[in-house]
Structure 1
Amino acid sequence: MNRLLCCLALLAMPALAQAATLDGASLSLAWGLPFAGILLSIALFPIVAPGIWHHHFGKITAAWTALFLLPFAAGFGAGSTAALVVHALLAEFIPFLVLLFALYTVSGGILVWGTLRGSPALNTGLLALGALLASIMGTTGAAMLLIRPILKANARRRHNVHVVVFFIFLVANIGGGLTPLGDPPLFLGFLKGVDFFWTLRAMALPVLLLVAVLLALFYALDSYYFRKEGPLPHEQAPEALKLYGLRNVPLLLAIIGAVLLSGFWQPGVSFDILGTPLALQNLVRDVLLLLIAAISLRITPRQVRAGNEFNWAPMLEVGKLFAGIFVTIAPVIAILQAGAHGQLAPLVQLVSAADGAPANGMYFWMTGLLSAFLDNAPTYLVFFNLASGDAAQLMGPLAHTLLAISCGAVFMGALSYIGNAPNFMVKAIAEQRGIAMPGFFGYLLWSGAILLPLFLLLGWVFF
C-alpha cells in the first residue's frame, strides 16, 4: 500500500512529470559506458569466470545499471531519471518480456514426441519450416516452437553447435523478413504506416536469396559432420511421431491476433506516466498476452511440459540481462537520434551522399551493424526517422532506402546474441540442454565468417 501511495505521489508531482525523451545532442559518449560494460560482461565473464557469471549475472547487470543511474540522477535529477526508467520499462522492456513470456509459455506446451534423428535432410527441413513460420508467427514464436524438437533430434550427435547457430540465423532472424509479423523492426514500420504487403513484395527476393544460400550451406556442413561422426549409437526401435498439447495451437494464433490488434486498432486513448505515453491498444495487447499464457499454463498437462523439460531459467536469464540493457541503452539511442547534433554525427553523416541524397548502401550497413549490438527494433526506428519518417515517401521515391533499412535491421540482427529478442533465448535453451554454445565472441566468429560475405553480396546486388 505504501508503495502504491508513493507512486501516486510521484505522478501528482509536476516537477517529475517530464518527457522521457533524452536530449541526445547534450549527452557525452561516456554515458554509453555502462551499456558497453554489460555487453563486455556478457562476452567475457562466461570465458574468464563462468562460475561467477552463472550464479551472479543478474547482480553484475544490476551493478552496471546502477553505475549509469546514480551519476545520471546526480547530473539530471531524480525526475529525469525516473522518467527514463519508466520509459525503458513501460514502453520497451515490459512489452518485450510479455510477448516473449507468452510465446515461451505457449510453445512450451506443444510437445513433439517420437523418434527424431538429426540427419542433414531432417535438420534442413526443420530450418526451412522454421524460416517459413517466422514470417507467419514471428521469429520469437517460430524459434520457441521449433528449438526443442530440433535439439531433441540432434541430442545424440557429437557435432550440434552449428545446428543451433544456423537456427538463430534462419529462424530467429532472416526468416522473419517477409511480413510485419515476422520481426519487431518491421512491425514498428507497420505501426508507422508502412503497408503490410509492401514489406512482402519488397523483402521477398532478399529473404529468399539468403534463406536458399544458408540452407544449402547448412546442408553441406551438416552432411560433412554427419559423415564424420559415422553411425549413431544404438538406440531403441523407432517410435512414431506424435504431437501433444495441440490445444496450445489456437493460443499461438491468439497471440498473433493480439499483436495484430495493437497495430490495426487505434482508439487514440493513452495514459501519460512520467512523460511516457501508454497507448490503450498496447495495454490491452499485453493483458491479453498474459491471459493467453495463463490459459496455457492452466490447460496444458504437466506431462507435456515435463517432456519438453520446460522451466523458467531461460526466461529469468533473458529478463535480468535485458532489463539492464534497455535502461543503459537509452543514452546511446538518444545520441544516435540527435543525428548531426550528437557525438555520433560522423556515423550518421555516412548515410548521406555529398548532394544530400540517401546512400542506400550505407543505410543497409549502418542500420545492420548497429542493429547487431543495439537491438534491431530501436535502431530501425532511428534510421527510419533519419531517412524521412514519412511512410508514404519511404514506400514511394525512397523505397530503396526503406528496403536497405529493413534488410539491415532484420538480417544483421543475427550477427550477435543481443541483436534480436529470440537469439539469447535460443542460446539459453540450448545450453540448458547441454550444448556447449560459443560465447559472445565465438558466436561473432561464426556469424562473421558465414553471414558477412553474404551481406556483402546482398549489398552489391541490391544497394
Structure 2
Amino acid sequence: MSLSLHVPRRLRLLAAAALPTLTPTLAFAAEVDGRVLSPWWGLPFAGLLLSIALMPLLTPSFWHHHVGKVSAAWALAFLLPFAAIHGAGLAGAQLLHALLAEYIPFILLLIALFAVAGGIHIRGNLRGTPRLNTAILAIGALLASLMGTTGASMLLIRPLIRANDNRRHRAHVIVFFIFIVSNVGGSLTPLGDPPLFLGFLKGVDFFWTARNILPETLFVVGVLLALFHALDRWYYRKEGVLPFDPTPDTRGIRFEGAVNFWLLGGIIVLVLSSGIWKSPVSFDIHGTELGLPGLVRDAGLVAITLLSLRITAPKVHADNHFGWAPMAEVAKLFAGIFLTIIPVIAMLKAGIHGPFGAVVSLVTRPDGQPDPAMYFWATGVLSSFLDNAPTYLVFFNTAGGDAQILMGTHAATLVAVSAGAVYMGANTYIGNAPNLMVKSIAESRGVRMPSFFGYMVWSGAFLVPLFILSTFIFFR
C-alpha cells in the first residue's frame, strides 16, 4: 500500500511545512503590548471554548462535519479586527509566529507519537477487571513521564478499550485514564509534558522535577488509583459484563509492530537532544527565529513518522482501528486555539500592569514573596482552559524567570507552577492535547464519553477536592 493511502493529504502538507521547534515559545516576532489591549480581545478564544463545549451537544452533526470551519471562523474573528486596528504587519507577524514557532511543532510531535504508537498492537484479550484496569493506569502513569503523556496515551488507550469491550459501563475507565495517564503521570520529567520541557529549555535541570515533585505526584496518582479501583469495582459488581466478549480469547500477550518501540526511543532522543544541543546557527523568517537544533529535531520527527507508516504492517493498523480522524480533529481545534490565545497570553504577560493584573497580583503575598498555593491554582486554572505550556512560562517569568533561583530559594514556587500546569490540564478536555485524542478514539470504538461539561462534573467531583487537599499538604 502506498504511503499516500496512509496519510491524508492535509497532514502530509503539514509535515512537509514543518520547520520549527518542538514546544511553544513566547518570544513574539513583534511583541503585542498586552497593556494596551482590552479584555474584549479574549472573546474569540472564549467563543471557541464555548463552541467546543456546546456544539457537540446542540448540533452534533454540524459540529462533526464542520469543526474545522468553526475553528477557522473564531480565528478570523480575532485576526481580521486585530489587523484592521493594529495593522496587518503586526497581525501577520503574530500569525506567522503562532504557526511556525508554536502550532506546527506542537502538531508535529503529536503526529509522530500518534503514528508510532498506532503502529504498536498489543495482541491478546486482557480481561477488564478492576485490578487489571488499575494496573494499566498505574503503568501508564509511569510511562507518561518516560515517553510523554501523548505517547503513553496512544500506546495504551486501544488495549484498555479492548480489555473492557464487554463491560456495560466504560466511560469512567476512560475518564480516569485521561486524569492519570494523559496528565498527572507526565509530571516527573521534561519529556512528560510540554510545560516541563519549556522549563528545561529555560535552565531547569532535567532531573529536578523528578526529585522535587515526586511526593506530590505519588500522592495524587495514588489517591486517583485508589478512587478508581473502588469505583470500578462497584460498577463491576453492580452491572457485571455483557453475555459475550467481542474480542476472542487468545493465549498470552505479545506485541506486534514492536519495531516502533525503537522509533519511539528515537522521538525521545530527538526531544532530549534538542534541549541539550546549543547552536549559534538560526534562521530568521520575517521576525520568527528558528534554531538549528529545532530544525534538525523536527526533520527527524517527520522522518520517524513517515518511516513508521512505511514499515508498519497494514494488519497492525487495521487491528488497532488506526485512522487519522482523531488527529485531524485535534489539529483543527488547536489551530484555532493557538491563534485566538495570542491576545490572552499577551495580556497575561503584561503582569500587574495589564488587563489581567488582578490575576497576576494574586500570586504575591503582602510581604512581596511568592505564594506557592496561589501559583499552583493560578497556573492550574488557566492551564485548564489555555495551552498549559505558555501558561507555565507566564508564571515562570512572573516568579522571576531565573531557573537557578527558582530551583533554589523559590523551589516551592517552581514546584507549584509545574504541578499546576501539568495536573490541572486534566480539568477539561482542552487542558491537554491527549485529552481530546483519547476522547475521540474512545468514541470511535463505541464508548459514550461525557460531554464537555459532563467531563467537568467528573473532574469537579474527583480532581478539584484532591487538588484542594494537595494545597494544604504541599503548597502552604
TM-score range, shorter chain: over 0.9
How far does the alpha carbon of each residue in 1:24-61 deviate from its partner, in whole angstroms, 9 at most, with x for none? 11111111100111000000001111111111111111
Q: Is the 8 A contact 2:125 2:162 kept in 1?
A: no
1:63 corresponding residue in structure 2? 73
Deviation at 1:231, TM superposition (A): 4.3
Deviation at 1:93, TM superposition (A): 0.6
How far does the alpha carbon of each residue in 1:315-374 deviate from its partner, in whole angstroms, 9 at most, with x for none? 110001100100010000000000011100011100011111111110010000000001
2:102 corresponding residue in structure 1? 92
1:81 corresponding residue in structure 2? 91
Q: Is the 8 A contact 1:20 1:274 kept in 2?
A: no
2:138 corresponding residue in structure 1? 128
Q: In structure 2, what is the Cα distance between the partners aligned to 1:177 and 1:191?
A: 16
Q: In structure 1, what is the Cα distance between the partners aligned to 2:233 and 2:152?
A: 24
Deviation at 1:238, TM superposition (A): 2.6
Q: Secondary structure at the match of 2:87?
A: helix
Of 239, 252, 267, the residue aligned with 2:250 is 239
Which residues of structure 2 form unaligned runs of 5+?
Answer: 1-27
% identity of equivalent residues = 63
Q: Is the 8 A contact 2:166 2:241 kept in 1?
A: no
Query: What's the TM-score, normalizing by structure 1?
Result: 0.95
Q: In structure 2, what is the Cα distance between the partners aligned to 1:454 and 1:68?
A: 36
How far does the alpha carbon of each residue in 1:70-95 deviate from its partner, in whole angstroms, 9 at most, with x for none? 10110111111110011111111111
Q: CA RMSD in A?
A: 1.3
Q: In structure 2, what is the Cα distance between the partners aligned to 1:38 and 1:163?
A: 28
Q: In structure 1, what is the Cα distance between the partners aligned to 2:183 and 2:360?
A: 25
Is residue 157 from structure 1 mapped to residue 180 from structure 2 by the alignment?
no
Is residue 291 from structure 1 mapped to residue 325 from structure 2 by the alignment?
no
Q: In structure 1, what is the Cα distance between the partners aligned to 2:280 and 2:217?
A: 35
1:378 corresponding residue in structure 2? 390
1:248 corresponding residue in structure 2? 260
Q: In structure 2, what is the Cα distance between the partners aligned to 1:429 and 1:165?
A: 13
Deviation at 1:431, TM superposition (A): 1.1
Q: Secondary structure at the match of 2:352?
A: helix
Q: In structure 2, what is the Cα distance between the partners aligned to 1:430 and 1:375?
A: 23
Query: What's the TM-score, normalizing by structure 2?
Result: 0.92
Q: Is the 8 A contact 1:367 1:379 kept in 2?
A: yes
Structure 2 CA distance for partners of 1:279 and 1:153, relative to 1, 3 Å: same
Of 203, 210, 225, the residue aligned with 1:215 is 225
How far does the alpha carbon of each residue in 1:255-294 deviate from its partner, in whole angstroms, 9 at most, with x for none? 0011111101111222122222111111111110010011
Whichever residue aligns with residue 111 of structure 1, its letter is H
1:140 corresponding residue in structure 2? 150
Whichever residue aligns with residue 171 of structure 1, its letter is V
Of 176, 193, 196, the residue aligned with 2:203 is 193
Of 365, 381, 384, the residue aligned with 1:369 is 381
Structure 2 CA distance for partners of 1:366 and 1:341, relative to 1, 3 Å: same
Of 161, 172, 175, the residue aligned with 2:185 is 175
Q: How do residues 317-328 of structure 1 correspond to structure 2 at under 5 angstroms?
A: 317-328=329-340
2:434 corresponding residue in structure 1? 422
Q: Is the 8 A contact 2:167 2:241 kept in 1?
A: no
Deviation at 1:170, TM superposition (A): 0.4
Is residue 411 from structure 1 mapped to residue 423 from structure 2 by the alignment?
yes
Q: How do residues 96-115 of structure 1 correspond to structure 2 at under 5 angstroms?
A: 96-115=106-125
Aligned pairs, number: 447
Q: Is the 8 A contact 1:82 1:274 kept in 2?
A: no
Deviation at 1:234, TM superposition (A): 3.1
2:16 corresponding residue in structure 1? none
Is residue 345 from structure 1 mapped to residue 323 from structure 2 by the alignment?
no
Q: In structure 1, what is the Cα distance between the partners aligned to 2:254 and 2:366?
A: 61
Deviation at 1:309, TM superposition (A): 0.5
Q: Secondary structure at the match of 1:271?
A: strand
Which residues of structure 1 form unaligned runs of 5+?
Answer: 1-17
1:389 corresponding residue in structure 2? 401
Deviation at 1:237, TM superposition (A): 6.4
Q: Secondary structure at the match of 1:278?
A: strand
Q: Is the 8 A contact 1:34 1:67 kept in 2?
A: yes
Q: Is the 8 A contact 1:38 1:61 kept in 2?
A: yes
Whichever residue aligns with residue 238 of structure 1, its letter is D
Deviation at 1:300, TM superposition (A): 0.6
Q: Is the 8 A contact 2:168 2:241 kept in 1?
A: no
Q: In structure 2, what is the Cα distance between the partners aligned to 1:388 and 1:454?
A: 28
Q: In structure 2, what is the Cα distance between the partners aligned to 1:229 and 1:242?
A: 30
Q: Is the 8 A contact 1:178 1:199 kept in 2?
A: yes
1:269 corresponding residue in structure 2? 281
Q: Is the 8 A contact 2:161 2:442 kept in 1?
A: yes
Q: Secondary structure at the match of 1:317?
A: helix
1:6 corresponding residue in structure 2? none
Deviation at 1:19, TM superposition (A): 3.1
1:309 corresponding residue in structure 2? 321
Q: Is the 8 A contact 2:168 2:242 kept in 1?
A: no
